[in-house]
């Protein structure tokens, strides 16, 4: 407890306590949560990607908001206030953009090892969000999972299209998916 109090004093933090058993008075946290949900919902709608991917969009929204200047912090970013440096956002792309992922471990799951030299050397996926300065979350429909990778080429001119990408027998097929 003493370390926590020293940390608060050292960083000039403002602590707002709430009443026990009363969640409604949680003003700052609630407004932050609403803002993250609002940004993630806008990103999902713009990308056209599937609803089950919502946790990745929430992460991406929180990441973007932590790198956005805030008036209350004298127009500094929350990231800079915590780590003392600005994050490189050069890798930020439009959600839902086509991505070509070059990963040998992924290719091994899709292609036979005998034909690697004559087959495609990339897996098609779709950009969800930036995890670090050059690490991306990419959804790969053929594997039905999200991977983190840095070996990727993103084409922001081509966007996700549910009908073109997802096979009919997939649980994500258009007839089985509830879109936003």
Asked whether the predicted pLDDT for residue 70 surpasses 70, the reply is: yes
Higher pLDDT, 161 or 92: 92
Taking only Cα atoms into account, the Rg of the chain, rounded to an integer number of angstroms, comes to 20
Asked whether the predicted pLDDT for residue 65 surpasses 50, the reply is: yes
Higher pLDDT, 61 or 88: 61
Token pair in block for residue 7? 């940390």
Is 19 in contact with 1 (CB distance < 8 Å)? no
* Mean pLDDT value of segment 131-155: 87
Please, how many CA atoms are within 13 Å of residue 42, restricted to the half-sphere of its CB?
A: 10
Express each pLDDT in 93-107 by its tens digit: 999 899 998 866 555
Mean pLDDT over all residues of the chain?
A: 78
3-state DSSP of the chain: CHHHHHHHHHCCCCCCCCCCCCHHHCHHHHHHHHHHHHHHHHHHHHHCCCHHHHHHHHHHHHHHHHCCCEHHHCCECHHHHHHCCCCCCCCCCCCCEEEEECCHHHHHHHCCHHHCCCCCCCEEEEEEEECCCCCEEEEECCCCEEEEECCEEEEEEEECCHHHHCCCCCCCCCCCCCCC
Residue 119 C-alpha from the chain's centroid: 30
How far apart are alpha carbons 40 and 22 in whole angstroms? 27
How far apart are alpha carbons 36 and 73 in whole angstroms? 18
Taken in order 113, 171, 60, 48, the sign of the CA dihedral is: positive
pLDDT at 25: 64
pLDDT at 99: 92
* Mean pLDDT value of segment 139-150: 87
Asked whether the predicted pLDDT for residue 136 surpasses 70, the reply is: yes
Most confident of 6-15, 133-142, 169-178: 133-142
Higher pLDDT, 177 or 85: 85
Nearest to 130 by CA among 62, 31, 51: 62
Q: How many residues does the chain have?
A: 180
How far apart are alpha carbons 100 and 124 in whole angstroms? 5
Asked whether the predicted pLDDT for residue 165 surpasses 80, the reply is: no
How far apart are alpha carbons 96 and 17 in whole angstroms? 40
């Amino acid at each position: 407890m003493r370390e926590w109090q020293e940390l608060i004093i050292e960083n000039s933090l403002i602590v707002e306590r709430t009443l026990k058993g009363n969640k409604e008075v949680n003003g700052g946290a609630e407004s932050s949560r609403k803002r993250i949900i609002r940004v993630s919902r806008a990103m999902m709608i713009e990308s056209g990607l599937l609803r089950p991917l919502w946790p990745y969009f929430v992460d991406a929204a929180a990441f973007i908001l932590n790198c956005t200047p805030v008036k209350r912090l004298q127009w500094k970013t929350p990231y800079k206030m915590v780590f003392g440096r600005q994050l490189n956002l050069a890798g930020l792309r439009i959600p839902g953009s086509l991505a070509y992922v070059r990963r040998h471990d992924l290719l091994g799951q899709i292609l036979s090892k005998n034909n690697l030299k004559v087959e495609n050397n990339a897996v098609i996926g779709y950009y969800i969000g930036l995890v670090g300065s050059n690490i991306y979350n990419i959804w790969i429909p053929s594997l039905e999972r999200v991977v983190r990778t840095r070996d990727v080429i993103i084409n922001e001119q081509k966007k996700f299209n549910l009908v073109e990408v997802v096979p009919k027998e997939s649980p994500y097929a258009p007839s089985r998916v509830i879109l936003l």
